[in-house]
Amino acid sequence: MVEPLFFKESFVKRHEKGRKLKAEGKLLMGLTCTYIPEELLIASGAMPVKVSGSLGGTPRADSYLPVNICSTMRSILEASLKGDYDYLDGVIFSNSCDNMGRCFDRWKLHLSYSYLHFFNTPHSKTSNAFKRYLYEVKKLKKSLETFLKVEVPEDELRKAINLLNEERLLLSKLYELRTEDPPLLTGVEAFYILAYSITYPKEEVLKSLRELVKEPPKLRSEFKDRPRVLVSCSIIDNEAKLISMVEDSGGIVVVDDTCTGTRYFEGLVKTSSPPLEAIAERYLNKVPCAFTQHGEERFAYLKELIKRYHVEGVILYCVKFCDTYLFDAPMLMEELKDIGIPATLIEWSHVEAWWAPLKTRVEAFIESLR
């Protein structure tokens, strides 16, 4: 049986694990975004690792980035400059937002990974966008094959598709455990399950997820009758403080709309279509991030989550200077108001000085939901 705490403990040790794997000859590749198809990495023998930055100051990154760049990309740059990701063989960026796309230049200039690739993700999903995504998939495949000196046969791609589809299904099943009252997993626990899944070898991830699905945590009555909260944002900080603040204030996070949550696993790759086309189709049509042209679909998806998870309040956690989420926020707030769901917009940053007032705001919001 696997305890929820296992995932947190493993995630905390992710860099040690990465170094160990590297020493064993494994090839590890960092990813900045959920729009980069992990299938290609797995099929070519590389292990995908979603990169993230920690809370706190970013003195190294600050010497290259002006003040008005988001703290998500700043903190990832800091982590790399500091050597946290010294075990990665390379990093793949995505054309997701200006903050991410433009920070790629800092990596080209100030870091010395032997492999840096830019995945030119479209922001729409027209037939032209599909052609473009497919072109990028083929380009990434070729680029990995050249770098790793391998050839990726179709059956390896199919295996990778099946493996990731299984991971997606398992994560969906675990999320289902949160639809009940009390939810069988807290928001913090669910966060670490995801955080672990996107930073550990998939074989280990599948094994732990299968066990947890088979034997989920016991019902804990202390989580019953708490205000049920959905958090929506780009990412959750990697100490899950944004979620802890809700749960320490007496609420419970029952679902999320984040890149470190549902946006990672919702939507399967079709196994009946040719692999590369199927991959392109899944990633282009997955639950959209705010950087895409499909804001309305995201809003509709959120409303669906609100129903399915019996959500009573929504917190929009926008990272300071994250244009795409900040732009969506007023429209989303209005839509939530129209369906009678209380919501609050809270801007945050990885800089610690921000956190004391945030906690007060979260407490006040949870109090208002009681």
x/- contact string, 17-46, with other proteins (CB under 8 A)?
A: ------------------------------
Whether 248 and 277 have beta carbons less than 8 Å apart is answered as no
Smallest distance from other proteins to CB 38, Å: 20
**For residues 74 and 168, which CB has a smaller minimum distance to other proteins in the complex?**
74
Pick from 2, 12, 333, 369 the residue near other proteins by CB under 8 A.
333
Angle at 88 between CA 77 and CA 286, to 5 degrees: 75
Q: Is 345 in the site for other proteins (CB under 8 A)?
A: yes
The 3-state secondary structure of 71-131 reads HHHHHHHHHHHHCCCCCCCEEEEECCCHHHHHHHHHHHHHCCCCEEEEECCCCCCCHHHHH
Pick from 30, 101, 182, 288 the residue near other proteins by CB under 8 A.
101
Q: How far is CA 63 from CA 78, 98, 155, in A?
A: 10, 19, 46
Q: Could you tell me the strand order of the sheet in which 228-232 lies?
A: 252-257, 228-232, 313-319, 343-348
Six-digit token pair at 52? 């993230």
Whether 239 and 227 have beta carbons less than 8 Å apart is answered as no
Q: Which residues pair with 343 in a beta bridge?
A: 314
Q: Is 304 in the site for other proteins (CB under 8 A)?
A: no
Pick from 7, 115, 118, 301 the residue near other proteins by CB under 8 A.
118
Site for other proteins in 211-230 (CB under 8 A): none
Smallest distance from other proteins to CB 13, Å: 33
**For residues 240 and 318, which CB has a smaller minimum distance to other proteins in the complex?**
318
Q: Is 293 in the site for other proteins (CB under 8 A)?
A: yes
How many whole angstroms separate alpha carbon 44 and alpha carbon 360?
A: 47
Cα dihedral across residues 33, 41, 130, 301: positive or negative: negative
Q: How far is CA 186 from CA 87, 102, 180, 191, in A?
A: 32, 36, 11, 9
Q: Is 328 in the site for other proteins (CB under 8 A)?
A: yes
Angle at 101 between CA 151 and CA 45, to 5 degrees: 20
Question: Near other proteins by CB under 8 A, which window of 83-91, 101-109, 167-175, 273-281?
Answer: 101-109
Q: Is 61 in the site for other proteins (CB under 8 A)?
A: no
Q: Is 16 in the site for other proteins (CB under 8 A)?
A: no
Smallest distance from other proteins to CB 104, Å: 7
Q: Is 113 in the site for other proteins (CB under 8 A)?
A: no
Pick from 253, 284, 329, 336 the residue near other proteins by CB under 8 A.
329
Whether 78 and 52 have beta carbons less than 8 Å apart is answered as no
Q: Is 300 in the site for other proteins (CB under 8 A)?
A: no
Q: Interface residues with other proteins (CB under 8 A)?
A: 63-70, 95, 97-99, 101-106, 108-109, 118, 120, 122-124, 126, 128-129, 131-132, 135, 290-291, 293, 295, 318, 320-321, 323-324, 326-331, 333-334, 345, 347
